[in-house]
Amino acid sequence: MKKSKDVDAWVFSHPKYPVRYAGDSPEEVIENYPLYLRDFIEERLNNNLAPSLEKKTKGKGGKREGAGRPKGTKKEKKTRVYLPDDIASWITRPESIPQVRKLMAKGKSHSVN
């Protein structure tokens, strides 16, 4: 809260709400600002506010146009598994994947169902 030189009154505002209250004394402002804030919140919950009243944020939260993987991009399906460290360090090498697939193919041809 600060004394405004422009209007010769005590003014209180909050950065999260577009509500301001001005009064002759700090006590008056402290007493009446919550009433104005409560009215604002009620109107906001009832969707009775003009879109221009609320400030636009500069944040980029939520889904944005063009965010994420482009549509149509194909990516191999993966599953997380937990392995002993020595096996995990070997299997993470790119040249190990074809060897694992060969072993899988051999295992399928020899398995009995």
pLDDT score of 53 more than 90: no
Q: What is the pLDDT of residue 112?
A: 55
Q: Give me 74's structure tokens.
A: 């194909």
Domain count across the chain? 1
- Is residue 6 domain-resident? yes
- Is residue 31 domain-resident? yes
The DSSP bridge pattern shows strands 17-23 and 9-14 to be: antiparallel
- Is residue 58 domain-resident? no
Q: Give me 44's structure tokens.
A: 């906001």
Q: Residue 35: give the domain boundaries.
A: 2-45
What are 7-50's pLDDT values in tens digits? 677 877 777 777 877 888 888 888 888 888 888 888 888 888 77
C-beta of residue 12 within 8 angstroms of C-beta of residue 27: no
- Is residue 16 domain-resident? yes
- Is residue 36 domain-resident? yes
- Is residue 21 domain-resident? yes
Q: Three-class SS of residue 27?
A: helix
- Is residue 81 domain-resident? no
C-beta of residue 23 within 8 angstroms of C-beta of residue 10: yes
pLDDT score of 94 more than 80: yes
- Is residue 108 domain-resident? no
